[in-house]
Chain A
Amino acid sequence: MLRVIDITGPRALYRAIGFAAALAISMPAMAIDWDSVKGEDVTLFSPGQMTWEYILTASKHSTSKSVAKGTNCRECHHGEENKIGQKIASGNKHFGSAGTNAEPNPVPGNPGYIPVNVKFAHDNDRLYVRLAWKPTPQQADMESDYAEAVAMMFSDGTVTATKVAGCWSACHVDMPNMPKAKKGVHLTKYLFKSRTKVSRAGGGEHYKSADKLQALMDKHYFLELWRAELNPGQPAKAVDGYVLDKRHMNDSPSVSAEGAMQNGEWVVVLSRKLDQGGAGHLALVPGKQYQVGFAIHDGHTEGRFHHVSFGYSFTLDSGKADFVAEKQ
């Protein structure tokens, strides 16, 4: 028997609002025909404690001089992500040619890498990024209140280190669970240029003045961050912000996130308006090449225990990049 929905009366207003909200939330996914978008498989891997300082230090990473000269990681490491991740995640004490102990606290069940299918697309109003991956068997005993989270950080090229290593330059040796972390000092992701003094032990709390940081923001020297926090059976929680001197998260997100488990795979779409504007948002326009890195916190992990990608690039409509977001 059909249930008759009353469209008059006080409850009708609430129903209308609920319907509109559901429509608004579901609109972004419905807007893009993902089957027609060419995706690329990106392998994310466990980076352990291979921080930016380590990458730039020859005794930890023998090609540090090449990195300092601007060689992109993938020129040497393309196709090696799963091997690197497996070695690091296993707690191998002699990782790499420099024989570094990159992971002193391996998470049980972590295979070390996660293949992710990534697609970019846009319409008149928004940029959409679709990520699909199978979670690993690992289940960490950390305090995260989400089962899984996926994030991306990107620059319009102003942060030149992103052309070399994606978001790696925000990862530092004095952050929590890293070798030079100081007791009682909880640093979040930051860029070296936000500090007055940096060394192989990181940039610590040597912050530049507010004026100098604002000047960096004004010339787009920051990483924009989009993130979806996921729990099975619940709507994805969108989080966004930027990284310069630390991770600044917006009280109410400009990014929207949809995520669901489909046949054992997480499928997540992150999107935001192209002309969002405001602090911490990069203008998304055709003709510009953006540098991006992806990360997944899999199996209740937190902090540095994510799987990460090397640096990739994207453009809108056309141009030379790993991902070209075509207009639909």
Chain B
Amino acid sequence: MPGPIKRLFKPSVKHSILAIGGLGFFLGVIFWGGFNWALEMTNNEAFCTGCHEMRDNVYQELKKTIHYSNRTGVRASCHDCHVPRPWIYKIIRKIEASNELYHHLMGTVDTKEKFEAHRRELAKHVWKVMKETDSRECRNCHNINRMNPEKQTPRARKRHQEAREQGLTCIDCHKGIAHRNVWKEMQEEKEAEEPLEGLDL
């Protein structure tokens, strides 16, 4: 082992534990802050839409929705819905995102045609995770128990009341709220095989 590295494993002769410990603590803060700061740089719209796959497809669709622009200017962007806020889930998601990096390099969805061919699969991944987490990212901003029924239309009031009664989660009804609604296309195909309900009425 070279000399300077060997010295790292020997006890200090000159400096106190406090000095070395204090320096270590200070460096740790810098490192931890730097790590999270660098992580947050991957957690914004500019970063996500840096890849043309996202910019040219789902981002253009988001722009037509209320989550992008509305009366109050309160908006949701990519990370608000697709990256968990709790640190541990965020880190897991960021590690999983290396798969997205891989597919970006492999060009798996790098044309409109390829993107459309995979769209349903991508949508189903997101729906599955949202269902498993009780729509955790929706609940970052929306709380069904704090919805004021008097400020809702009769339709919204009725549907949210049903959701509470039936224990539904946001994504059960709100598929397609931010990007093109593939749910409808998939539902039409399903309905071609299923019988009509409500015949007992």
Tell me the A residues contacting B by CB distance below 8 Å: 53, 56-59, 62-68, 70-71, 75-80, 98-99, 160-161, 164, 169, 192, 198-200
State whether A56 touches B198 (Cβ < 8 A).
yes
Which of A57, A78, A80 is the one whose CB lies under 8 Å from B196?
A57
* A98 and B184 form a contact (CB under 8 A): yes
| Contact between chains at A75 and B158 (CB < 8 Å) | yes
B173 is contacted by which of A62, A79, A164 (Cβ under 8 Å)?
A: A62
B158 near A160 with CB under 8 A, answer no
Chain A: CB-nearest residue to B197:
A68
- CA separation between A282 and B201, bound complex, in Å? 20
Chain A-chain B contacts (Cβ-Cβ < 8 Å), number: 55
By a CB distance below 8 angstroms, the chain A residues around B200 are 160
Q: How far is the CB of B9 from chain A (nearest CB, A)?
A: 66
Interface flag for B118 (CB, 8 Å): no
Contact across chains for A80 and B155 when beta carbons are under 8 A apart: yes
| Interface contact B195-A199, CB-CB below 8 Å | yes
A66 vs B196: C-alpha distance when bound (angstroms): 13
Residues of chain A contacted by B196 (CB below 8 angstroms): 53, 56-57, 198-200
Which of A67, A78, A99, A198 is close to B184, meaning CB atoms less than 8 Å apart? A99
B155's nearest neighbour on chain A, judged by CB, is A76
B153 is an interface residue with CB less than 8 A from chain A: yes
Q: How large is the interface on B (under 10, 10 to 19, 20 to 34, 35 or more residues)?
A: 10 to 19
- When chains A and B are docked, how far (Å) is the Cα of A164 from the Cα of B158? 15
Measured in the bound complex, the distance between the Cα atoms of B199 and A265 in whole Å is: 39
Known interface pairs A56-B197, A99-B181, A161-B201; 12 further A-B residue pairs with C-beta atoms within 8 A, sorted by A's residue number: A59-B187, A59-B188, A68-B197, A68-B201, A71-B158, A76-B158, A76-B159, A77-B155, A79-B154, A80-B154, A192-B199, A200-B196
Q: Which of B158, B181, B198 has the most CB of A within 10 A?
A: B198
Q: What is the CA–CA distance of A160 and B199 in the complex, to the nearest angstrom?
A: 10
State how many angstroms separate the Cβ of A95 from the closest Cβ of chain B.
13
Shortest C-beta distance, A173 to chain B (Å), equals: 10
Give, as a whole number of angstroms, the nearest-CB distance from B12 to chain A.
69
Residues of B within 8 A of A70 (CB): 201
Q: Distance in Å from the Cβ of B190 to the closest Cβ of chain A?
A: 8
**Contacting B198 at CB < 8 Å: which of A62, A67, A99, A199?**
A67
Given A76-B159, A99-B184, check contact A200 B199 (CB 8 Å). Answer: no
A53 to B200, CA, bound (A): 13
Contacts of A199 in B (CB 8 A): 195-196
Chain A residues, CB < 8 A from B188: 59
* A160 interface neighbour in B162, B195, B197, B201, Cβ under 8 Å: B201
A164 to B197, CA, bound (A): 14
B96 at the A/B interface (Cβ < 8 Å)?
no
